[in-house]
Structures are given as structure tokens and as C-alpha cells.
């Protein structure tokens, strides 16, 4: 199946069909409301799942927003859920052991559909997200050291500096300024990825990248017309041409920089680009050619900046609706940093900051559906007999709200990620970064970046949702607020610091590594 069809059908599959009838309500399943004093409204996407499958029209309509919201309750109670749609059945695997089998133990039987079609190659070429199997394996090996903990730590100063410059811009704004925090976080993470990728050439690249990536993201809007015979292929071809045209400026700049880095390799800045240009396969010493480096650069941009931006956007949203958790965060930041700029050495001492981010990615997984896998041979998953060719979907959205895995899953509660609770949880119950050999290569980078951003900004500011702002979810590969998110910026007075030891934030100093389990 072509990937365009595939993506479209993920939404439709995810939206379910008319296969199930006996669905029971779970006692005590409550709607989560905003805190005392705020309006008693369910937060975006936090209503309990519907009891019944959606109608055909509602299913089609849901593809404009977040189709995961219409998946019926049964999927959140059972280890698997078989959804049938016009294009064939899809098995949603919602049990950690089953997920582990698909993504790790029997991964060879569930290859990731290669995004080999022209639509994706118009954007990514053949980077890690889209490269065919053998090429993916080699590139992953070559690139792994560029994403290792030590290397990521070396990017922390650039992340912090960029965020501090951003905070200074916010500081210059009048008190109670309105801002679209979704757009702000996009701009910030784009700046950070440009700095870590291109060092001093970041400014030039940021302009090209912002424009090209916005266009590519907008191109992921598909309608029914895109899957019709004749008209569909014609529309897709037009989109591909437009995408190629929009990437021209960025491509030219990247190729020029690659050429320069190759010439001055000893004195080249220690950024991502230099590392990719110099990276070698440990087995045969072969590196990436200029085209391959270009494809990986674009892939890293696409995979790495939007996901981080939406994570931060949802962090601000949830904090604005949960004053007690926000106060806890402020207490930790004030106690550990006391107003100073954080460094990477502070990360192990900011466990609650990290827990806020982890819980945010549980509630709003930035990638709510991990790409479809297709069974090559017969297998058994959670007692279900898998036949060759069956499509299998692993969805962090469902897993993260599954009734057997989480208490009161619609409630925002960062303490779920306290060390002892996380250690008891099966590894494949929580999948913001996927799992197995295709696990996100940028997970450590993303956690380091988001913790540092939150530590810098939440020390000085808090954001309130603008009165009357309606937040609705939209899934376009990533999960984002459909029309941005208007907030009011407030400067923050540091909270009086508790006596050290008297009221410590949970798990203080208990976590050594910024990212332990991804």
C-alpha cells in the first residue's frame, strides 16, 4: 500500500469501524476537570473514550482532528483490538508483552513499512525514518555515536544559551503579553536544532529550514480526494513537486556547508553536521556521502524539532491547568537552581522537572501512533492468531490510557514517573519514543533539551491559558493543538525556598542519568 494511503488509513483505522457491539463502561471512570477555581471543563483530549464505535461520518470527520479520540473504550480495556475498515483489518496491540513481541522479540516478522514512495523521498530522501532495511541498518550504526549521552551533553550549552536568549526576548515584552505558545515553542526548538546542527551557520539555515519544514508539515494534510483513483495520484504528484521546490534553498545551503566541513575537518566546529560528515561505519570504515548526509540532516530536522516543540507546548498547557503540580515544579527549580542558569550537571537533580515532561508525553504522546507494521508470517499476539499480511498498529495514545496499565489515566500526575513506580512498570507500557531497534535515536537529546528548556523558562515565567481559549487536538503524525494555543505570559516571583531536606521534591538526586529507560 502506498504510504499516502497508509497514513490516511491509519487515521481511518484508528478511528475504528463497526465491528464491536458489546462495550461496557468502567465503574468510577471519571472526567478529569481543571483545578479548583478554574472552569470545570474537560481538558483537550481528556474525556474518557466513547462507549460506542463512531458513525461513518464521525469517523471521516475525525481525520481533520485527532482520530484517536473516537476509538471506543473497549480498545483501552483489552490486550488487543481488531478494527476493520474498507481497506482491511488492523490489529491494535495494547498489551506490553504483545508490543514487545512486535517491536523487539519478533521484530523481523513485523517490518516497518518502508517509506519508500516518492512522497516521502521528496522530503527526507533516504534518511533513517525512510531508508530501506539494509541502508537503515548501516546508517543507524554510523550515526549512533552522534546521539550518545556524551555527545548530547556537549550540545547542552547551545541549548541553554538559545533558550536564555529566548527568555530575554520574553522579558522585554510587557507583562501579560499574549502569545501563541505553540508557535513560540516551534521557533525555539527550530533555533536549537539549527544551533546544534550548524553552530555559527545556524541563522542562515534557520530561515530556509523554517519555511521548508512548515510547507512539508502542511503537505501532510490529506483529504479524501488524495486517495481517489486518477485525481489522487495527480494531487500527490503536485505536492511532491511543490515540496521539492520548497527544499531547494535549504538543500543548496546544506550541500555548501557539507563541502566546507569536508575541507576543514580538523578545525570544523563540533556540531551535528561535522559529526555526520566524519562518521564512519565501525565495521568497514565507510562513511556517508554528501547526499546521504543531506537526507539525514533533513530527517533529523523533521523528526526532531516538531516533536520537541509539541511536547513543550503540552507541558505549558498542563501546567497552566494544574497549579499544584506547577508549584511543585517551581519549588524544585528554585531549590536546586536558586535562579541560576542550569547546566547539564543539574539534570540528575531535577527529577520532578523530568517527571512533568514524562507525564506530559504520557497524556499527550507527541507521536500518538507508531507507524504500521505488517506481519510477514503467521504469529500469535496476546492470544490472537496473526495471519501473514495483517497490519499491526502500536499506539502510544491507547497504551498510555489503557485501564489495565494506569490508574485514572485521564489524570495528569507526574508522580507516576517517580523512580520506584517507573521501575515497576513494564518497559513496553510507555512508548513516547517507540521501542526496539527502531526506537527514537534522539530520545536522550529530546529529554535533555526539554528538561533544560523547562528549567530555564519556568524559573522566570508562567503561562496562563487565554480566557476562552478552546484547545483541540490534531494528529498530523505529531499530536498538536489544532489552531495553536493562545496564552498570557506572566513573570514569576521565585517561591520561598524550603529548608533543604524539610520538604524535598520527590526523588531528589535519585536519578543519575537524564534518560534511563528509553
Site membership for ligand HEM, residue 128 (CB under 6 A): yes
Site membership for ligand HEM, residue 129 (CB under 6 A): yes
CB of 295 or CB of 379, closer to ligand HEM:
295
Q: Which residue is nearest to ligand HEM (CB)?
A: 442
CB of 124 or CB of 232, closer to ligand HEM:
124
Q: Where on the phi/psi map is residue 486: left (φ > 0), alpha (ψ -120 to 50), or beta?
A: beta
To ligand HEM, the closest distance from the beta carbon of 143 in angstroms equals 8
Residues 394-453 that bind ligand HEM (CB under 6 A): 432-434, 438, 440-442, 445-446
Q: d(Cα 177, Cα 360) in Å, to the nearest integer?
A: 25
CB of 440 or CB of 511, closer to ligand HEM:
440
DSSP string, 213-265: HHHHHHTT---GGGGSTTHHHHHHHHHHHHHHHHHHHHHHHHHHHHHHHHHTT
* CA gyration radius, the chain: 23
H/E stretch holding 423 reads: helix 419-424
Site membership for ligand HEM, residue 288 (CB under 6 A): no
CB of 354 or CB of 438, closer to ligand HEM:
438
H/E stretch holding 10 reads: helix 3-14
Q: Which of 140, 403, 427, 482 binds ligand HEM (CB under 6 A)?
A: 140
Q: What are phi and psi of 385, to 5 degrees?
A: -80, 110
Q: Count of residues binding ligand HEM (CB under 6 A)?
A: 24
The β-bridge relationship of strands 379-381 and 461-465 is unpaired
Q: What are phi and psi of 380, to 5 degrees?
A: -130, 130
DSSP string, 302-353: HHHHHHHHHHHHHHHHHHHH-HHHHHHHHHHHHHHHTTSPP-GGGGGG-HHH
DSSP string, 44-62: TT-SPPPSSPPPHHHHHHH
CB of 53 or CB of 396, closer to ligand HEM:
396
CB of 140 or CB of 235, closer to ligand HEM:
140
Q: Which of 146, 311, 353, 475 binds ligand HEM (CB under 6 A)?
A: 311
To ligand HEM, the closest distance from the beta carbon of 49 in angstroms equals 21
Q: Which of 277, 370, 398, 455 binds ligand HEM (CB under 6 A)?
A: 370
To ligand HEM, the closest distance from the beta carbon of 330 in angstroms equals 22
To ligand HEM, the closest distance from the beta carbon of 111 in angstroms equals 11
Contact 385, 91 (CB under 8 A): no
To ligand HEM, the closest distance from the beta carbon of 149 in angstroms equals 14
Cell of 46: 481528556
Site membership for ligand HEM, residue 313 (CB under 6 A): no
Contact 309, 189 (CB under 8 A): yes
Residues 78-117 that bind ligand HEM (CB under 6 A): 112
Q: Which of 102, 156, 158, 367 binds ligand HEM (CB under 6 A)?
A: 367
Q: d(Cα 149, Cα 392) in Å, to the nearest integer?
A: 32
Residues 147-166 that bind ligand HEM (CB under 6 A): none
What is the CA 458 to chain-centroid distance, rounded?
21
CB of 48 or CB of 125, closer to ligand HEM:
125
To ligand HEM, the closest distance from the beta carbon of 52 in angstroms equals 29
Q: d(Cα 99, Cα 102) in Å, to the nearest integer?
A: 5
CB of 437 or CB of 498, closer to ligand HEM:
437
To ligand HEM, the closest distance from the beta carbon of 435 in angstroms equals 8
Q: Which of 83, 106, 308, 313 binds ligand HEM (CB under 6 A)?
A: 308
Task: Give the footprint of ligand HEM on this chain (CB under 6 A).
Answer: 112, 128-129, 140, 299-300, 303-304, 307-308, 311, 366-367, 370-371, 432-434, 438, 440-442, 445-446
Amino acid at each position: 500500500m502506498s504510504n499516502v494511503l497508509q497514513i490516511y488509513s491509519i487515521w481511518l483505522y484508528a478511528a475504528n469501524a463497526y465491528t464491536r457491539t458489546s462495550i461496557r463502561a468502567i465503574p468510577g471512570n471519571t472526567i478529569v476537570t481543571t483545578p479548583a477555581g478554574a472552569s470545570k471543563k474537560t481538558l483537550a483530549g481528556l474525556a474518557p473514550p466513547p462507549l460506542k464505535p463512531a458513525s461513518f461520518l464521525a469517523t471521516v470527520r475525525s481525520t481533520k482532528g485527532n482520530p484517536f479520540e473516537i476509538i471506543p473504550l473497549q480498545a483501552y480495556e483489552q490486550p488487543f483490538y481488531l478494527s476493520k475498515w474498507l481497506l482491511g483489518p488492523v490489529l491494535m496491540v495494547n498489551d506490553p508483552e504483545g508490543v514487545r513481541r512486535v517491536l523487539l522479540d519478533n521484530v523481523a516478522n513485523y517490518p516497518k513499512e518502508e517509506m519508500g514512495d516518492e512522497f516521502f523521498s521528496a522530503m527526507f530522501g533516504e534518511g533513517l525514518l525512510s531508508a530501506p532495511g539494509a541502508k537503515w541498518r548501516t546508517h543507524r550504526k554510523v550515526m549512533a555515536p552522534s546521539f550518545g549521552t556524551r555527545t548530547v551533553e556537549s550540545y547542552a550549552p547551545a541549548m541553554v544559551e538559545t533558550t536564555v536568549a529566548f527568555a530575554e526576548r520574553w522579558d522585554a515584552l510587557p507583562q501579560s503579553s499574549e502569545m501563541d505558545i505553540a508557535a513560540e515553542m516551534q521557533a525555539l526548538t527550530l533555533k536549537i536544532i539549527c544551533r546544534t546542527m550548524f553552530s555559527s551557520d545556524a541563522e542562515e539555515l534557520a530561515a530556509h529550514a523554517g519555511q521548508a519544514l512548515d510547507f512539508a508539515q502542511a503537505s501532510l494534510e490529506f483529504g479524501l480526494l488524495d486517495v481517489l483513483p486518477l485525481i489522487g495520484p495527480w494531487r500527490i504528484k503536485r505536492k511532491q513537486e511543490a515540496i521539492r521546490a520548497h527544499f531547494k534553498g535549504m538543500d543548496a545551503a546544506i550541500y555548501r556547508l557539507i563541502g566546507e566541513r569536508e575541507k576543514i575537518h580538523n578545525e570544523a566546529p563540533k556540531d551535528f553536521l561535522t559529526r555526520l560528515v566524519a562518521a564512519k561505519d565501525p565495521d568497514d570504515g565507510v562513511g556517508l556521502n554528501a547526499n546521504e548526509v543531506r537526507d539525514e540532516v533533513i530527517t533529523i530536522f523533521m523528526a526532531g524539532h516538531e516533536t520537541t516543540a509539541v511536547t513543550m507546548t503540552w507541558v505549558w498547557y498542563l501546567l497552566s491547568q494544574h497549579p499544584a503540580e506547577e508549584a511543585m515544579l517551581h519549588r524544585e527549580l528554585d531549590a536546586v537552581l536558586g535562579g541560576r542558569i542550569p547546566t547539564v550537571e543539574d539534570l540528575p537533580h531535577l527529577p520532578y522537572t523530568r517527571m512533568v515532561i514524562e507525564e506530559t508525553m504520557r497524556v499527550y504522546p507527541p507521536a500518538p501512533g507508531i507507524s504500521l507494521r505488517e506481519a510477514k508470517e503467521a504469529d500469535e499476539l496476546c492470544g490472537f492468531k496473526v495471519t501473514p499480511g495483517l497490519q499491526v498498529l502500536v499506539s502510544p495514545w491507547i497504551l498510555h490510557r489503557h485501564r489495565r496499565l494506569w490508574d485514572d489515566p485521564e489524570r495528569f500526575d507526574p508522580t507516576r514517573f517517580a523512580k520506584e513506580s517507573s521501575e515497576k512498570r513494564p518497559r513496553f507500557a510507555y512508548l513516547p519514543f517507540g521501542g526496539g531497534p527502531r526506537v527514537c535515536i534522539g530520545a536522550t537529546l529530546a529529554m535533555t533539551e526539554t528538561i533544560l528548556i523547562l528549567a530555564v523558562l519556568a524559573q522566570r515565567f508562567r503561562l496562563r491559558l487565554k480566557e476562552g481559549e478552546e484547545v483541540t487536538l490534531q494528529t498530523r503524525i505529531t499530536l498538536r493543538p489544532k489552531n495553536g494555543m493562545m496564552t498570557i505570559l506572566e513573570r514569576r516571583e521565585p517561591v520561598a525556598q524550603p529548608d533543604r531536606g524539610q520538604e524535598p521534591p520527590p526523588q531528589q538526586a535519585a536519578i543519575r542519568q537524564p534518560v534511563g529507560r528509553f
